[in-house]
Amino acid sequence: MDNKEKIQTMSVGLNLLAIEVKGDNICFNLTEMAKLYGTDPAQWLKYNESKNYIKCVALLRKVRTADLLTVRRGGVPHEQGTWANDYRIAIEFARWLDPMLSIQINELVWKLLTKQAVVAEPIGDVWPIIRNGRVGYPRKEILEAAGYSSGSGTIQRLKKRYPDHHFTISRIACVSAEFAKLRMEQSRVRQMELQFQGLAAIAKA
């Protein structure tokens, strides 16, 4: 199954987390989670307490300990790294990094699993960033996916024309879902026009 269809980036506190919702479970990219703290999952896994915790989760779920951690390579940066395939391991890892982060992730998990919060859908294969309930789609990725230039001149014109649809989330320039859908629809119409023009030129030949 293609991970790009499921991986979501969410902002929790000062942390930008990559998660993957799978039914009644949520996977977390531990490598991304640890970046802000200048460490990595390998350091946490050196402790016997960490290893014992993972063993307990494995016993509870009746799986191998190796099934609970996965190293992913390739793809975009937030997909790469060590993933916890059980949200409890992610919460325990977060507790080691920062108790407040652990509490925030615990609340996020509860809201997602009880459907009090949802993971937004991608637009044009571009996943949004969510912070404090606000959803934004990375502007550069949306423009490039729609076949438009992401140069400064283009961006300034768009910001002037649609000022309410351009904002920043976690220092990343974003656009609203409405703007993202508009650009994708305009791109689709433009492609159809080019196709019709090509067919017309062939018919005249």
Give the CATH number of the domain where residue 47 resides.
Answer: 3.10.260
Structural domain includes residue 75: yes
Range of the domain at 52: 3-113
d(CA 125, CA 139): 13
Cβ contact 85:100 at 8 Å: no
- Residue 79 and residue 137 share a domain: no
Q: Which helix (H) or strand (E) holds 176?
A: none
- Residue 155 and residue 105 share a domain: no
Structural domain includes residue 124: no
- Residue 104 and residue 28 share a domain: yes
Radius of gyration of the chain (CA): 21
d(CA 187, CA 147): 7
pLDDT at 4: 43
- Residue 99 and residue 28 share a domain: yes
- Residue 101 and residue 7 share a domain: yes
Number of folded domains that form the chain = 2
pLDDT at 2: 42
| pLDDT of residue 192 exceeding 80 | no
Strand order in the sheet with 129-131: 69-72, 81-84, 25-29, 15-22, 7-12, 129-131, 134-138, 172-175, 166-169
Structural domain includes residue 126: no
pLDDT digits (tens, 9 = 90+) for 14-70: 788 889 888 889 999 999 999 999 999 999 999 999 999 999 999 999 999 999 999
The model carries a pTM of 0.63
- Residue 68 and residue 142 share a domain: no
Structural domain includes residue 123: no
- Residue 101 and residue 52 share a domain: yes
